[in-house]
Structure formats: C-alpha cells, structure tokens
Amino acid sequence: MFLAQRRLCSLDSRAKFLKTIYSSKILGLPASAMSLKITNAKRIEGLDSNVWVEFTKLAADPSVVNLGQGLPDISPPVYVKEKLSKIAAIDSLNQYTRGFGHPSLVKALACLYEKFYQNQINPNKEILVTIGAYGSLFNAIQGLIDKGDEVIIIMPFYDCYEPMVRMAGATPVFIPLRSKPVDGKRWSSSDWTLDPQELASKFNSKTKAIILNTPHNPIGKVYTKEELQVIADLCIKNDTLCISDEVYEWLVYTGNKHLKIATFPGMWERTITIGSAGKTFSVTGWKLGWSIGPNHLIKHLQTVQQNSVYTCATPLQEALAQAFWIDIKRMDDPECYFNSLPKELEVKRDRMVHLLESLGLKPIVPDGGYFIIADVSLLDADLSDMKDSNEPYDYKFVKWMTKNKKLSAIPVSAFCNEETKLQFEKFVRFCFIKKDSTLDAAEEIIKAWIRQKS
C-alpha cells in the first residue's frame, strides 16, 4: 500500500486529493465493518437453495446407478453428432450470429411448427432461440411478469417455476393435481387431474399468467383436449397469459396425443409455447430452446434476450437446424427421431413399471415424458439413522437409497412448494431415458432388494 502511495504522490494534482483518501484507512476500520453495503439484490433473497445441486452431488459417485437427474445416458442420434462435427469446421460459424436466433434455425423451427398451428409462423418475429427451455422460461417470466402479479403454478411443478416467478417479484399461486381413486387397476398419470372449480377459484384480477407443463414433469401426464379447454376458457375469461412448457412434446406413448394449447381458439395471442433441443434430440448439453408466440409477446422476450445473453452459440444452432431438416422431411417415417425415440422409451417405461411393481410399489404409469414416480412408503425403509433430520420423507428416502442400495432418484417434494411438500413426500421420481446397461444395473439392485426383503 505504501509503495503505491509514494508513486501516486509523484503525480501532481492527484497527490493532495489521494492523501485524504488514505488517511481514512488509517482510522483502522476493519474490512468487515466496511462491507455492510455489499449484499445481494433483494430479487434473489431466499432463492439460493437448489435441489439439483444437492442431489447430483450425491449421485456423482460412479458406483451409484443414477436414475435421478433427467439426463439421457443414451447417445444422441448419429446424424446430430455428425452435423455438429462438420459445422464446427466452418469458419464463419465460430462467430456471433443473429441475437434472436440463427437464421437457418428459426426457419427450420417455423417450418416444423407451422404443421401444428393454423397459421404460418414468422421466423424473425414469432420465434426466439434461448439458452435451453430454461432460458425461455426465464425470458418469458422476466418479460411478461411484474412485481405484484400472480402466476398460477400446477403442482407438482418443475422446480424452477417458483423461484423464477419470485425473482420477478410476483406471487406464485399453487394448485395441486389430485388423483382419482384407482382400486384394482394400474395407476396412470391420467388419473391425476385438476378440479375445474378449484382452478377457477385461483384466478383473480392480479393473475397475469398460468404455467402449463404438458407432458408433465414429474408425473408424465399428457393433458387431454377437455382439460386444456378448461384452462383455455379460464385464460380467456380472466384475460390471462399462458406459458406452456412443452419440452417433452415428442415423448408421448401409445394411446396419447400431445396437444398445443396455443392452437385452441383465442389462445395463440396469449400463449408462449416453449420447446427444447435437449429433450427433442437427446442433447441436453447443447442448451438450446425456443419460445414461439405472437410478436406482441415474443418482442418482450427478445428485449430480455438482448439485455441478458444477447445471442446463443452459433455452431450448435446451425447443427440443430440441419438435424431438424433431416427429421422434418420424414415426419411420417418410423425412422424419424420424433417417432423412434418415444417408441424406444415406451419399452423402457414398461420395463421400469414392471421393475417397480416387482418391488411391491404402485408406480404411476406416465403417458408421456421420461420420468415415473412411485409411492415408496410401502417399502417401509429403515430411515432411523436420519430421524433427527426435519427433511421430508422422500428426501431422507432418496439419501438412504443412494447410500444403501446404490440407486439414486429425486424426491418429488422438491417439485412442491413449502406448504404442500407433505402431499407428495412419499413419492420418488425415477428417470428412464437410460441405456439398457443402466436399466440392467437398476434391475439387479431391485432383484437383490426383493430377495433381501423376503
């Protein structure tokens, strides 16, 4: 400090001025007392904890069979990997591209999604490419939700919805999916529904938006036409926006059809529909997603984009565009990834259902998505080691199962808000977009578990 002071003293007009500054340090105030101002912004107060950070660390042990985080351990399709490889060699694709989305990608997305909407989609005005669907959720919420607004969230919910709504200064209003009694027959995700009257009661003059997730994480529910109509009617009646998270849109199983709420009458103009390359092509690490909607909504997401990340990575967007063109051209072909992946996953789903049933559990068979949840309290696991913890049952169970059975999953109460964690605390979520050898290893663990029980 003193060397610096001497050097500075040799500069003319600054010397006298700087002496005054240094003398205040001589007062000997400790550094900590001077840091009362360096605090976080209020918008992130209480948002620092995160279930994934805790549980992925737990499952990182290579001897653990990881059915927790929703990440495929299968390879993406060969042509997707090949495209990226070729593109990375093209010079210009290593520099910035258009902020709201690489031109060839937004064209491909417009071409694909026009097949589902009644109108053409303007690639520049009605599409925004984001950092994963996660980024689209953030842009939509920051762009359209204000302090004091209310946002309806259906429980259980993908865990980021609540903190994102709170970060925007708004209030989440929760409504749970409730199950019909299912004596005798297999429990299905379609048995979980919203009570229309209860839903209607959640809307008021402050309600800015409702967040819809179909197919649903973690239950796997694929909303029917009638269910979507109830939501649409309420949105229109209450002048509310709909943020529709449809990342698992291609992953629907036999007997089910994914429907886009934005295609319902009166809904295009008030809906943002979100998609994900990660979930579409099994490339979660590419972190590319998109929002589709009318320009009067998308333009506000674009404003957030130009003030946050500005643009997404170029080579990945070009590779994604080219992968899309391959599959857009063969949408009726069973070889098209949009058709082949759900077929592949349905087999894995059925295998998981069977495995969990063999353990004595009653899993909820998902109609879509790549997760399955089951009530694990029937296993009556000995969690006495953790009796002092005031964590919900499922948190304790997952930690116990990871440690003792070398099998990891995610507690479903992580997808609930504080007040309602108890409603889902007996449920645990398993991910089945895993290669056969992973599922074989899970099967071995479950077989040993069954033997140990009997």
Partner 1 sequence: MFRNVAAIYLHLAGLLQRKKAGTSLTRCLHQTFAMAKRLQARRLDGIDHNPWVEFSRMASEYDVVNLGQGFPDFPPPDFAVQAFQLALSSDYMLNQYTKAFGYPPLTEILASFFGKLLGQEIDPLKNVLVTVGAYGALFTAFQALVDEGDEVIIIEPFFDCYEPMTLMAGGRPVFVTLKLSPTQDGELDSASNWQLDPTELASKFTSRTKALVLNTPNNPLGKVFSEAELELVASLCQQHDVICISDEVYQWLVYDGHQHISIASLPGMWERTLTIGSAGKSFSATGWKVGWALGPDRLLKHLRTVHQNTIYHCPTQGQAAVAQSFQHEQARFGQASSYFVQLPEAVQRSRDHMVRSLQSVGLRPVIPQGSYFLIADISDFKSKMPDLPGDAEEPYDSRFVKWMIRNKGLAAIPASIFYSMPHRKHFDHYVRFCFVKDESTLQAMDEKLQRWKTELRP
**Using CB under 8 A, which residues numbered 412 to 451 contact partner 1?**
none
**Contact criterion met (CB below 8 Å) for 271 and 242:** yes
Rounded distance, CA 360 to CA 282, Å? 31
Residue 52 in the binding site for partner 1 (CB under 8 A): yes
Closer to partner 1 by Cβ: residue 97 or 213: 97
Residue 336 in the binding site for partner 1 (CB under 8 A): no
Q: How far is the CB of 295 from partner 1 (least distance, A)?
A: 10
Among 108, 129, 144, 234, binds partner 1 (CB under 8 A): 144
Those residues whose C-beta lies under 8 Å from the C-beta of residue 196, and which sit 6 or more positions away, are 230
Q: How far is the CB of 58 from partner 1 (least distance, A)?
A: 14
Rounded distance, CA 414 to CA 158, Å? 9
Q: How far is the CB of 223 from partner 1 (least distance, A)?
A: 21
Per-residue contact track with partner 1, 380 to 419, x per CB under 8 A? Answer: ----------------------------------------
Q: How far is the CB of 34 from partner 1 (least distance, A)?
A: 5
Contacts with partner 1 in 150-169 (CB under 8 A)?
160, 163-164, 167-168
Secondary structure (DSSP) of 323-380: HHHHHHTTTTSTTSHHHHHHHHHHHHHHHHHHHHHHTT--EEB-SBSSEEEEE-GGG-
Residue 7 in the binding site for partner 1 (CB under 8 A): yes
Q: How far is the CB of 335 from partner 1 (least distance, A)?
A: 20
Closer to partner 1 by Cβ: residue 251 or 365: 251
List the one residue out of 277, 338, 259 whose CA is nearest residue 101: 277
Structure tokens at 407: 């099998």
**Contact criterion met (CB below 8 Å) for 348 and 196:** no
Closer to partner 1 by Cβ: residue 256 or 282: 282
Closer to partner 1 by Cβ: residue 24 or 404: 24
**Applying CB under 8 A, what is the total number of residues that bind partner 1?**
100
Q: How far is the CB of 428 from partner 1 (least distance, A)?
A: 21
DSSP secondary structure letter of residue 252: B
Sign of CA pseudo-dihedral 49, 46, 286, 245 = positive
Contacts with partner 1 in 200-219 (CB under 8 A)?
208
- Given the rule CB under 8 A, which of 87-95, 351-359, 392-400, 444-452 is the region that contacts partner 1? 87-95
Contacts with partner 1 in 284-313 (CB under 8 A)?
284-288, 294, 296-297, 299-300, 303-304, 306-313
Those residues whose C-beta lies under 8 Å from the C-beta of residue 325, and which sit 6 or more positions away, are 108
Closer to partner 1 by Cβ: residue 84 or 416: 84
Residue 41 in the binding site for partner 1 (CB under 8 A): yes
- Given the rule CB under 8 A, which of 21-29, 214-222, 332-340, 387-395 is the region that contacts partner 1? 21-29
Closer to partner 1 by Cβ: residue 165 or 365: 165
**Contact criterion met (CB below 8 Å) for 125 and 299:** yes
φ/ψ region of 145 (left if φ > 0, alpha if ψ in -120 to 50, else beta) reads beta
Closer to partner 1 by Cβ: residue 287 or 426: 287
Residue 232 in the binding site for partner 1 (CB under 8 A): no
Collapse the DSSP code of 188 into the 3-class scheme (helix H, G, I; strand E, B; otherwise coil) and give the result: strand
Closer to partner 1 by Cβ: residue 14 or 225: 14
Q: Tell me the β-bridge partners of 127.
A: 292
Closer to partner 1 by Cβ: residue 250 or 427: 250
Contacts with partner 1 in 244-283 (CB under 8 A)?
265-266, 268-270, 278, 282-283
CA angle 17, 20, 22 (to 5 degrees): 115
Q: Tell me the β-bridge partners of 431.
A: 371
Closer to partner 1 by Cβ: residue 87 or 222: 87
Structure tokens at 90: 């093209």
Per-residue contact track with partner 1, 112 to 141, x per CB under 8 A? Answer: ------xxx----------xx-xx--x---
Biggest CA-to-CA distance, the chain: 91
Residue 406 identity (one-letter amino acid): K
List the one residue out of 237, 250, 241 whose CA is nearest residue 279: 250
Rounded distance, CA 82 to CA 416, Å? 40
